[in-house]
Amino acid sequence: MNTHRIRVGIDVGGTFTDAVAVDATTLQLLGQVKVPTSHHHEDGVAHGIVEALDRLLEQTGHTPEDVTFLAHGTTQATNALLEGDVATVGLIGIGTGPGATLTRRLAAFRKLELTPGKRLPLAYAHVADADDAPAVRAALDEVVREGAEVVVASQPFSVDRPEGEEAVAAAARERGLPTTAAHDITSLYGLHKRTRTAVVNAAILPRMLATADLVDASITKAGVSAPLMVMRCDGGVMSLDEMRRRPLLTVLSGPAAGVAGALMQERISEGLFLETGGTSTDISVVRRGKVAVRHATMLGRTSYLSALDVRTVGVGGGSMVRIDGGKVVGVGPRSAHIAGLPYACFASAEDLRDAKVTTIRPMADDPADYAVLDAAGGRFAITMTCAANALGRVPEGDFARCDQDVALAALAPLAAVLGTDVATAATNLLDAGTDQVKSVVETMMRDYRLEKDTAVLVGGGGGAASVTPHLAAVTGQEGRIARHNEVISPIGVALALIREQVERIIPGAGQEQILAVRAEAEAAVIAQGAAADGVEVEVTVDPQTSTVRAVATGATELRTQDRAHRADEADRLRAAAMSLRTDPASVRVLAGTPAHTVYGTEVRRRFRADRHPVRVVDADGVVRLHAPDARVETTTVGRAPEVLAGLVKEATSYGDGGVRAPALRLLLGSRIADLSGVLDPDPLLALARSELRSRSADEPVVAVVEVRS
């Protein structure tokens, strides 16, 4: 049953601002609007955000008081870096002796290129002792004279001893200068990488602060009392206050919104999300129900910014076909949008009368092999979307759907030039475009060890139908277009969870230190508005780098979805059998909770021990956990510490590589607590006890235990 409470997601793009309203209970789409992005208004993009919100509320019949969650994604930070529109950074290095030598080398950051021919504007000054107030004031005077609008304080080992950076930052703030302390951006070692990440954060800080203040004031004036959230580049959202501190987290957040929408709406367990626009396709990986994240590359160097692992291919719905010698030789990278031409398939039959193929250079430096139609109605581009419509690959109701007869008429002149029929010409065009995407998809599947039989291709974006259906047909993989694909990004913003990541380098980390990192991440999302009862924390300990990483996620309210859309027992069994690649008759139920069912089968092997693969399927019929060989045990919260201690002891392996505890997941209530990132038995059991804390003793717990080789 629908309520009046809604979640609003707004995606601020370079050209348009899209907004959606989603029912807070059923998570169903209620309305969507599109307005031009207001770059040149006196209130900047804030004006477009409020205009989109006003139209959305009017369209859906809601009031500002009905908004229980409001978040927006923005390309502003990304565009600022791409365009070189950044503030001059005053970098204050701190240190004496060898430390001074290290920090003085940071002045070389002024050589970093933002865009070809434009370097990062940076002024450097040095202080030996941060407690020397006159010296700090003199250093600040020096960088301000050189035009600094924002300050970064950096000192070797500030991760462990932040007092020096804090003293310089405090002095800068007293002068009204926005400031970034390097240890506030990341707690990982590596002076150069940590400082470089902080410098990029500072470079966009003034612009992002101004925007944040305008958006905040505008939303408040509009009568919305729900706290404003901002999309992060790792697929979550953060509070506006957190964005003011670390605006860098919004860089590369554009693709994150789309895959967040696919995760929540499409319930992907294993696969790839392809977000296709007019010019390009962003490809990201979902593995075990989670998006793949890695440290991003910025200004040509790796950073400590954790962002989606997104690979971009210059092929989209508007990409133009290239021909030479009577053959299709390529598609893109130029699109109809760049060439300033309409798609041929969206013309009328009369417009395409007497159409003839000619070739052009869309831009002055392009090769003159891009095919276009000169017809009665003018000049038109022959695009991926035209070919997809001609082959009937664009479903009814899709954003990119057109009259198939017109699409066939648009491809007919090209087919004549190629000496073939229309269907073959359209297929050749799509083959040339999707080959580029296919290569990247195959690479990412290898990188993340996805199996072709279980990895689904999900298309999003307005141009999804031009790439995903054909790619699925060519590769033989399951493929589909996401519901409401043209607004999947704002849907992702509306449905995203609050997220925080805490990383620490702790050599020989013990259970108390690991639990402390976990608690810090959990507290951070709660402080930003997440409901404490629903916070999930995944902890990973990397023994090679001594890195302890905790990723916490949580919703601003506990969600209870409409059960009418839930899968029945037969659907869940089919999903498990398909994932296990076996007959449903050989699959049995091993355990279950109200939210999940655990299925397993047995794989007999002649000369080795039998395997017992396991799949955990949620109430929607989505496989949430793949275990190639696991033991499943059901117990209660009261008995779990003793039972888990026995299971972990029995499954822990010992060898030349040291002690390796099993990969452990716990099914608790509606959650899967993934503890597989911890290799040491004692911290593993300590984390398990922390997950059980504050739950009733008779609550059931299902443990899925995988022995590591």
What is the per-residue pLDDT across 66-98, written as a single tens digit (0 to 9) for each? 999 899 887 777 777 767 788 999 999 999 888
- 248 lies in the same domain as 296: no
| Domain count within the chain | 6
- 385 lies in the same domain as 289: no
Domain that holds residue 530: 497-554
User: At 602, is the secondary structure helix, strand, or coil?
Assistant: coil
> Higher pLDDT residue, 565 or 239?
239
Q: Tell me whether residue 30 is in a domain.
A: yes
Segment (H or E) for 321:
strand 319-324
Q: Tell me whether residue 524 is in a domain.
A: yes
With a cut of 50, say whether residue 281 has pLDDT above it.
yes
Candidate ranges 232-246, 279-293, 585-599, 614-628; pick with highest mean pLDDT: 585-599
**Mean pLDDT over residues 537-561, rounded?**
79
Mean residue pLDDT of the chain comes to: 88
- 501 lies in the same domain as 484: no
- 539 lies in the same domain as 614: no
In CATH, what number is assigned to the domain containing residue 34?
A: 3.30.420.40
Q: Tell me whether residue 589 is in a domain.
A: yes
For residue 597, what are the CA distances in angstroms to 569, 591, 689? 9, 6, 23
- 144 lies in the same domain as 176: yes
Segment (H or E) for 413:
helix 404-418
Residue pLDDT, tens place only, 616-629: 998 878 788 888 89
Q: Tell me whether residue 581 is in a domain.
A: yes
pTM of the model: 0.80
Q: Tell me whether residue 197 is in a domain.
A: no
- 584 lies in the same domain as 604: yes
Confidence grade of residue 561 (pLDDT, cut at 50, 70, 90): very low
Last residue within a domain, chosen from 456, 475, 492: 492
Last residue within a domain, chosen from 419, 447, 472: 419
In the prediction, which pLDDT does 113 show? 83
Cis upstream peptide for 700 (omega within 30°)? no
User: At 528, is the secondary structure helix, strand, or coil?
Assistant: coil
In the prediction, which pLDDT does 1 show? 41
Confidence grade of residue 697 (pLDDT, cut at 50, 70, 90): very high
- For 5-8, the CB contacts below 8 A with 24+ separation are 5/66, 5/68, 6/30, 6/60, 6/62, 6/66, 6/67, 6/68, 7/67, 7/68, 7/69, 7/70, 7/494, 7/495, 8/53, 8/56, 8/67, 8/69, 8/70, 8/71, 8/494
In CATH, what number is assigned to the domain containing residue 100?
A: 3.40.50.2300
- 507 lies in the same domain as 643: no
With a cut of 60, say whether residue 564 has pLDDT above it.
no
- 306 lies in the same domain as 326: no
User: At 653, is the secondary structure helix, strand, or coil?
Assistant: strand
- 76 lies in the same domain as 16: yes
- 381 lies in the same domain as 525: no
- 280 lies in the same domain as 382: no
In CATH, what number is assigned to the domain containing residue 518?
A: 3.30.1370
DSSP per position, 486-501:
GGHHHHHHHHPPEEEE
Cα–Cα dist 112/118, whole Å: 9
Q: Tell me whether residue 409 is in a domain.
A: yes
Confidence grade of residue 657 (pLDDT, cut at 50, 70, 90): low
- 53 lies in the same domain as 165: no
Q: Tell me whether residue 301 is in a domain.
A: yes
Last residue within a domain, chosen from 137, 153, 188: 188
